[in-house]
Amino acid sequence: MELLLQATVQGLLVGGAYALVALSLGLTYNVSGIINFAHGDFLTLSMFLALAMQVAFRLDPYISGVLLFPVLFVLGAGVYHFLLRPVAHRHLLMVIQLTLGITFVVQNGLLMSFGGQPMRVPSAYEASLILIGDELAIRTPQLLAFVGSLVLALLLWLVLDHTETGRRIRAVHQNPRAAALMGIDVPRLRMVIFGVGIGIQALAGVLLVPGQPVEPALGFRYTVIPLMALVMGGLTDFRGVYLGALLIGVTEALGTVYVSGTSGMMVPYGLFILVLLLRPQGLFRRA
């Protein structure tokens, strides 16, 4: 019972962090129509940049995150404008290829600069634990990651649902042509949103980095799992995506605890395949 509780809480915390990556992926996908297989690699990039700033200026990763946001925003907007926009209307295979190409460039650029050894980024709260009762221990950085991503998700929802900018973004998602006729500068909005989506990776990166060994190949995992959460949640439904990410986090944690060896790690993938086959419109949406 203790184990179940501990694993579930652990899974929820990890899932909350996945959710932020999944939401930013969903934001860029819904507005620009581009499925970005390099999304997770920008996360690794921000982790390595946080590491570099830690080594060079003794900056705590949490502070680096705020400083890195504009850097990754500009990078994301640039990648969209110069690389992705020209192929956006083409066959999906081309878009996937191009973003896989970006994956190769980022991953191996990091490998060349930092080497392949997993590295750790020290931070202030890295080793601290919060004890609840005598059976539940929560690592502080994971709680911070969960709360941070929840706050960002709420912020995102507020902007999308309750502001004029949000209305414009939704308009471009629903019908880009009509949005353009209403006087919205669609290409510019898409570029900005792509920049925001990549910029969020800077924040997600530093939220996830404490206690996480950083290596260049890490990014692929942080593309695949959020992608699964996104598809399970039904692509456009942000609450669904958030719940999908939590579900993946929990199944992963429970799978690792209750199913022996690596078979436990298969549980989320199996769940994903089942959801995609049985409820292709997403877990929480009506057909």
Partner 1 sequence: MMRPDFFQFLRSPLLWVPVILAALLPYGLSSYHLAIGTLALLYVSLALSWNIVGGMAGQISLTHSVFVGCGAIFASSLLVRLGVNLWIAMAIAAAVSAAIGVFIALVDSRFRLGHLSFALVTLAFAEIGELVVSGSEWLGGASGIDLPKDRGQFWQFQFGGGSGYFWAALVLALICLVVSQAILSSRLGYFLRAVRDNEDAAQAIGIRLFRAKAMAMAISAALSSVAGTLYARYSNFVDPSLLASPNLTIEIVLVATIGGLGTPLGPLLAALVLIPCGELLRGRFGGSLPGLHFFLYGVLIIIVVLTSPEGMVPRLFGLWKRFVAGRARSRDV
Q: Which two tokens stand for residue 34?
A: 């581009």
**% helix, strand, coil for the chain, step of 5:** 75, 5, 20
d(CA 272, CA 190): 29
Q: Applying CB under 8 A, which of residues 5, 57, 70, 115 lies at the interface with partner 1?
A: 115
Q: Which range, of 19-27, 102-110, 181-189, 245-253, touches partner 1 by CB under 8 A?
A: 102-110
Our CB check for partner 1 shows the closer of 157 and 220 to be: 220
224, 236, 257, 284: residue in contact with partner 1 (rule CB under 8 A): 224
One of 55, 105, 124, 137 touching partner 1 (CB under 8 A) = 105
Out of 66, 263, 281, 285, point to the residue binding partner 1 (CB under 8 A): 263
Residue 160: name the closest of 147, 146, 176, 172 by CA.
Answer: 172
Q: Which of residues 69-88 bind partner 1 (CB under 8 A)?
A: 83, 86-87
The least distance separating partner 1 from the CB of residue 228, rounded to whole angstroms, comes to 7
Residue 265 engages partner 1 in binding (rule: CB under 8 A): yes
Of 18, 219, 20, 260, which is closest to residue 107 (Cα–Cα)? 219
Binding of partner 1 at residue 213 (CB under 8 A)? no
Token pair 């899932």 is found at 15
Figure out which of the listed residues 36, 44, 54, 107 binds partner 1, where binding follows CB under 8 A. Answer: 107
Query: Exposed, middle or buried by CB within 10 Å (0-12, 13-18, 19+), for 170?
Result: middle
Burial category of 212 from C-beta neighbours within 10 Å (exposed 0-12, middle 13-18, buried 19 and up) = middle
Determine the interface stretch with partner 1 among 43-51, 153-161, 169-177, 215-223 (rule: CB under 8 A).
215-223
Spatial distance between the Cα atoms of 193 and 80, rounded to a whole number of angstroms: 10
Tokens of 45: 């990039």
User: Which residue lies nearer to partner 1 by CB, 93 or 287?
Assistant: 93
- Please report the DSSP string for 29-94 in residue order: HHHH----TTHHHHHHHHHHHHHHHHHHH---HHHHHHHHHHHHHHHHHHHIIIIIGGGTTS-HHH
* CB closer to partner 1 out of 105 and 155: 105
Q: Which residues contact 110 (CB under 8 A, 6 or more apart)?
A: 44, 45, 48, 216
- Binding pattern to partner 1, positions 168-207, x when CB under 8 A? ----------------------------------------
Q: Does 36 bind partner 1 (CB under 8 A)?
A: no
Which lies closer to partner 1 via its Cβ, residue 175 or residue 281?
Answer: 281
Question: Which stretches of the chain bind partner 1, using CB under 8 A?
Answer: 35, 83, 86-87, 90-94, 96-98, 100-109, 111-112, 115-116, 216-217, 220, 224, 227-228, 231, 261-263, 265-266, 269-270, 272-273, 276-277, 280
